[in-house]
Structure 1
Amino acid sequence: MTSQSLKGIFATLPKLVLFALLLIIYRNGNAQVTIAGDTTNLLQILSHTRQLTLQTVDDSTQLTIVAGNVKLKQGNTLFFCDSCVKNDRTKLFEAWGNVRIVDADTATVTANHLRYFEDKQLAFLDGNVKLSDGHGVLTTPDLEYDMMTNIGIYKKGGRVVNGKTVLTSKEGWYYADMKDVYFKKDVVLKDPAYNIVTDSLLYNTESRTARFISYTTITDSSQNVIKTREGFYNQVTKQAEFGQRPTILDTKGRRTVTGDRITQNDSIYMVTGRGVIVDSAQGVTIIGDKIFQNKTTEAVLATQKPLMIVKQDNDSIYITADTLFTAKLTALYGTQDSIVVDTVSGLKIAAIGEKDSTNRYFEAFRNVRIFNDSIQAVCDSMFYSFKDSVFRLYDNPIVWAQNSQITGDTIHLFTKNKKPEKVEAYDNSFMVNKMDTDAYNQIKSRRMDGYFIDGNIDSVRARGFAECIYYLRDDADSSYTGINETKSDIMDIYFVEKELDKVVFRSQVTGTIWPLSHKKPSEMRLEGFQWLEARRPKTKYEMFE
């Protein structure tokens, strides 16, 4: 049969039928075909069980057809298949059935069908394609694999399995040398610890590190939701970093964490750069340039100009300090079925439940300042419980309400509906009420209790070696008529429209009423008198400074 007639027969047959006929015409043996000359970068047929070589079209085109456990080699790369056709002129060969490429130590690829360009070392695979780099396994309908760069590309959907982690996307670039995969379009990563949805993602199968390069949503096993535009997460070390103003939403605790950058080390988040934590369940916002949060215990530590805002309708409370800390009361006292007594203050705290909405406290350390429209305070350390709504102020505390100032060794400020209800000053308590330039009403005692109505101071009771200096006024025209300097065991002080109205002495009273002409205001000072208005927070805006 001539070449022309053979050509006509081949032209009329489909490729698979042609192969069936060719496989019928075979010769036994394991002949090896070696290309003459430099074989360093040429494709060599190493072994097979059946071979047919055909001369077609003209003398320049020769097809080498082999079948049965076929093995080929180019450089350090081995090819395996059930059958293949090799065109020496075009440097192209196709392989069918159990196709396998072993690229030295880089990767192994399997498929049903392969088209391979020998000069370019470019492989096109389709049909149940799998690529393994020793760590992850990629499956895809078809794959373009560059043997020179060891880069595989899929554009009809792919799936990478790495341990318990599964990643899918419409498109992907697999960098076998670096064990990196670039996933693009409808990227989804599923893992027992979290799920990731994004448009683009880099993943290293060896280090098991995911890098975020576009808008990404991460949902962990606790249903915390992280939104970020850049960063990484290492599945082995549990370390992560999120950038470009990421947000973490705790859907159970209704808490949102935001900052310029958030890093995670196991269960600890560190927020840097204008960090904000909003606890909508407690109505609390924490701001700071560096914030740490334990996502397991829900404890929060804020430093570098931290600010806490306790929200209420029209008169929120602002608290600043060098350091702010908040955590669950059950972490401090444990879960209790009965009344708990605070070992520091002696105050009784009602029973605490783990799921109680008031199961929280916060502390402030160094340079503590508190502001709201009704009351302001400073101290060196503070403790607040959401269970009893009491601010416990320690180390040189000062509380201001309108024109009045209260000091003591320790002060407890009780609030109700987040408004001041009562203030208690213990040991060396001292109250100053400014009347005019250099004129001050003053009361000192061992203990002092002040009461508020609608956020305004209404009355004060001073007990234990109480002393007072206060200015008497004429009821008709409110002009000053004298100065009362008195000692008593118990005194009650009453205010009207935020001004001191009268003082009532309850027992063991001794004292003097001085005419105004006999005493200068600057001379009328009780021992320990201080007017500390310069330390008083004036507006909520200075709390952000």
Structure 2
Amino acid sequence: MDKHNLWYRHMTGTFCFQIKRLQTVALCCLLLLTSNAFAQQQVPAADTTKNSNTAFIEILNSTYTDIVKQGTEQITRIVGDVKLRNGSDILYCDSAVLYQNQKVAEAFGNVSIEQADGTQAFADYLKYTGGTKIVYMKGDVVLNDSKGNSLWSDEVDYNLATKVGKYYHNGTLQNEATLLSSKSGEYNLKTKDARFKGDVVVNDPEYTVTSEDIGYNTDTRVVKFFAPSIVQNDNTYLVAKAGTYDAEHKIAKFKGRSNIIHNAQFIEADDLKYNRISGWAVATGNVVAIDTSMKTTLYSGFAMYNELTEKMTATDHPIMKRKDGADSIFIIADTVFSEPIANLQRPDAGPIDTAKLQLDKLINALQQGVEVDSTKLLFHPSGKDSIVSLTGKDSTAHLKGKGSLLVQPVTDSLNIPEEPALELPQMNVAADDSLLVDTDTVVAAADSLKTSSERPERPKQRIGENASQKVFENGDGKEGDKPRYFIAYRHVKVYADSAQAKCDSLRYAQSDSLMILYKNPVVWGRKSQILGDTIYALLDSSKIQEVYVPKNAIVIQQNGPEKAGMYDQIQGNRIHAFFVNNELDSAVAYPNAETIYFPKDDEEAYIGASRASSNRLRIQFKERKVKMIYYLTDFKQTMTPMMQVDPQSLRLSRFKWREAERPKSLEELLEHATPFQREQILGKKADKEPDATDTKPKPEQVNKPKKKTKRK
């Protein structure tokens, strides 16, 4: 055999052996690397399972996991479709870092948390501290509870155990169509209670709220006010310091000095309740009600206003002030009622309002000059501090419970059962009130979230562009320009600088400026007095223009000093008197007219006393005295010389001088007003009433020498 061939074979065999050996080594290395990599990937999961007491988070899924040590700290890096579990809480993210010794976890990218009760959290970044169960989230953070309520902010601290999320740099809570935004706040996803502070705005399709500090419950939809707040709907403003607004039943209960504004009506009180469904607002304690259209201000202890019918009722020492320019007129009564004149023109359809029928009957009688007894319009309260159903049926609603919200009710002194009573509705809502029950079904709580590899979707931002809008656009305010009328009844007194009046009941209409006084009325002007069964007074501002007395009329004017007892008197079945600057200028009396007056000569000396009668007469006055009397038909006269005159015996049949009943000043009119009313009207604080237990001497009694008496 050729040597050359032997050598070739030997080398070939050796070469093949070496190739096979290299292949074997390479395969072993590949298997070793694969086994190392596989062992390296499985270590954390295996260690976590075996050492559950030390591993605070369990890794359920990832693409790549790496464990490194930095000093004594063991750090686990997890990348790709990360799914972690801590107890029943599941966390998803793009990547995470676990600090096992510190029990701290950081998650990055598309972070989401699922809890067993259906709570979800979303963020761009998360830091979790195992010992405190506090999660810090940043970047488009969303907290969702099981009922679909969402809390949005850029940074949120969330406690996995207590389910409380807090934000400190602007956030918004979304409850169905309601948005609540503020600088800082917190939301308890377990109790559904939220608290917002700093530039708080609540936007709802039906109302808006602005405040600095409020609370809110997403289940009950009750707003709590901890700072001065404004609640506004389409045409009503509510301003409160403290209290609640139940958005579900649309009921507000305000404590502290609060007010409501509706069109031309402004009401302020110490306690205010409002029901948007029925339209009634109930004010209690130091009430101030302003009607800008009538230029009136009403002070009372209790008032009710309906924004649907625009009715107003005030009791508990109501005092009405009407101001026009520099002139003011004041009216006090037991009760004051007011509404738009348009309410009197109702179509003959729908349920019958018996109280309104009675008011219509009263007004028609007044306009016809018929004597009317206002005590037939009664309130029928049954006690104090009741909770009454407000059914939204206007004034036909009946008082329920053990008492009434009226502070000083008017009682029925005549006891006339056949006449319908004016029954006032009251505040609060009965549980069975169908008008206040939301018929929408309540969404049931979601089932417990099952652990799965499916990551929940981050909800889309549904907050509207008007989230920071603080007030809704209001109407043009023309609704407040409706002409109104009011009725004051029981113990009515009227005071102006140059004219005063007293009667049982009074009606005034804004449309014609006609004031009607009935049941034993009297009108005083300077030194004159007008009496009759019913008195019609036409006003211009607070000045009297005309007075008409349709039955049993008499005009009395003092002539000379009061001690002289001389009175000029004009009497007739009817009298029509005309005034200039609140001074009696002229009058017409008819039929069966009679006069007594004391004429003077050119030197202003009394001539005597004239007593005359005529079927019709006309009188002219000058400087508060009779200037001329024109007897038109059937004239008869008796003249008595002054030396033979007995002024006390010269009285007509209807003569009655009622000067003692006349309020001499505004202070006297307000004698029984509350300190708050006197302060508001007079512009000064009322004097402190003396304490009966105070035995200290007055300043003027201290160090005063006693007067010595001389002995006789």
Same structural fold, with TM-score higher than 0.5 when normalized by the shorter chain? yes
Q: Which of 255, 271, 274 matches 2:283?
A: 271
Alignment check: 8 A CA contact 2:44 2:67 kept: no
Correspondence 1:363 to 2:487: yes
Residues 207-228 of structure 1: CA distance to partner in whole angstroms, max 9, x if unpaired? 1122222233444222x44443
Give the number of equivalent residue pairs. 507
* Aligned residue runs from structure 1 range 405-420, under 5 A: 405-420=529-544
Residues 98/189 of structure 1: CA separation in 2 closer, same or farther (3 Å cut) = same
CA positional deviation for 1:283: 2.0
Q: Which of 582, 588, 593 matches 1:461?
A: 588
d(CA) in 1 for partners of 2:530, 2:89: 85
Correspondence 1:445 to 2:572: yes
The residue aligned with 2:647 is 521
Q: Which of 416, 422, 431 matches 2:546?
A: 422
Residues 338-359 of structure 1: CA distance to partner in whole angstroms, max 9, x if unpaired? xx997334479xxxxx969462
Residues 207/231 of structure 1: CA separation in 2 closer, same or farther (3 Å cut) = same
Residues 110-152 of structure 1: CA distance to partner in whole angstroms, max 9, x if unpaired? 2233211111111111222111232521011121112344322
The residue aligned with 2:516 is 392
Q: Which of 291, 296, 300 matches 2:308?
A: 296
d(CA) in 2 for partners of 1:543, 1:319: 9
CA positional deviation for 1:510: 3.0
The residue aligned with 1:84 is 96
The residue aligned with 1:180 is 193
Alignment check: 8 A CA contact 1:300 1:327 kept: yes
d(CA) in 2 for partners of 1:68, 1:233: 46
CA positional deviation for 1:399: 0.9
The residue aligned with 1:256 is 266
Q: Which of 231, 234, 248 matches 2:243?
A: 231
3-state DSSP of counterpart to 2:286: strand
Residues 463-514 of structure 1: CA distance to partner in whole angstroms, max 9, x if unpaired? 12222322233331333x3222233211223221122334332222334223
Residues 405-453 of structure 1: CA distance to partner in whole angstroms, max 9, x if unpaired? 1111111001235421110112111222222323322232211111101
Q: Which of 200, 207, 211 matches 1:194?
A: 207
Residues 497-540 of structure 1: CA distance to partner in whole angstroms, max 9, x if unpaired? 12233433222233422344545322222223211112212223
Residues 189-215 of structure 1: CA distance to partner in whole angstroms, max 9, x if unpaired? 212223223332222222112222223
d(CA) in 2 for partners of 1:34, 1:510: 127
Residues 484/356 of structure 1: CA separation in 2 closer, same or farther (3 Å cut) = farther
Correspondence 1:474 to 2:624: no
Moved more, 505-514 or 387-396: 505-514
The residue aligned with 1:333 is 345
Correspondence 1:114 to 2:126: yes
3-state DSSP of counterpart to 2:552: strand
The residue aligned with 2:391 is none
3-state DSSP of counterpart to 1:260: strand
The residue aligned with 1:499 is 625
The residue aligned with 1:18 is none
3-state DSSP of counterpart to 1:343: helix
Residues 36/499 of structure 1: CA separation in 2 closer, same or farther (3 Å cut) = farther
Residues 532/37 of structure 1: CA separation in 2 closer, same or farther (3 Å cut) = same
Alignment check: 8 A CA contact 1:288 1:307 kept: yes
d(CA) in 2 for partners of 1:28, 1:62: 13
CA positional deviation for 1:154: 0.9
Moved more, 419-428 or 254-263: 254-263
Alignment check: 8 A CA contact 2:546 2:579 kept: yes
The residue aligned with 2:501 is 377
Larger Rg: 2
Structure number with greater CO (CA < 8 Å, separation at least 6) is 2
The residue aligned with 2:417 is none
The residue aligned with 1:431 is 555
Alignment check: 8 A CA contact 1:209 1:232 kept: yes
Residues 232-261 of structure 1: CA distance to partner in whole angstroms, max 9, x if unpaired? 2221111113344334444xx444333333
* Aligned residue runs from structure 1 range 122-271, under 5 A: 122-133=134-145, 134=147, 136-222=149-235, 224-250=236-262, 253-266=263-276, 267-271=279-283
Moved more, 519-528 or 371-380: 519-528
d(CA) in 2 for partners of 1:126, 1:234: 33
d(CA) in 2 for partners of 1:355, 1:62: 71
Q: Percent identity?
A: 29
d(CA) in 1 for partners of 2:620, 2:72: 119
Moved more, 181-190 or 55-64: 55-64
The residue aligned with 2:433 is none
Residues 127-184 of structure 1: CA distance to partner in whole angstroms, max 9, x if unpaired? 2211123252101112111234432211222111112111112221223333222222
d(CA) in 1 for partners of 2:596, 2:109: 105
* 1:288 counterpart letter in structure 2: S
3-state DSSP of counterpart to 2:310: coil
CA positional deviation for 1:62: 5.1
Residues 260/59 of structure 1: CA separation in 2 closer, same or farther (3 Å cut) = closer
CA positional deviation for 1:389: 1.0
Q: Which of 629, 634, 637 matches 1:508?
A: 634
CA RMSD in angstroms, aligned pairs only: 3.2
Moved more, 363-372 or 508-517: 508-517
Name whichever structure is richer in strand by fraction. 1
Moved more, 513-522 or 312-321: 513-522
The residue aligned with 2:295 is 283
Name whichever structure is richer in helix by fraction. 2
Alignment check: 8 A CA contact 1:389 1:418 kept: no
Q: Which of 343, 359, 372 matches 2:364?
A: 343
Correspondence 1:483 to 2:493: no
Alignment check: 8 A CA contact 1:31 1:49 kept: no
Residues 126/140 of structure 1: CA separation in 2 closer, same or farther (3 Å cut) = same
d(CA) in 2 for partners of 1:306, 1:97: 67
Alignment check: 8 A CA contact 2:496 2:542 kept: no
Gapped runs of 5+ residues in structure 1? Answer: 1-21, 349-353
TM-score, structure 2 length as denominator? Answer: 0.65
Alignment check: 8 A CA contact 1:95 1:114 kept: yes
d(CA) in 2 for partners of 1:208, 1:257: 26
3-state DSSP of counterpart to 1:61: strand
TM-score, structure 1 length as denominator? Answer: 0.83
d(CA) in 1 for partners of 2:325, 2:137: 66
* 1:452 counterpart letter in structure 2: F
The residue aligned with 2:65 is 52
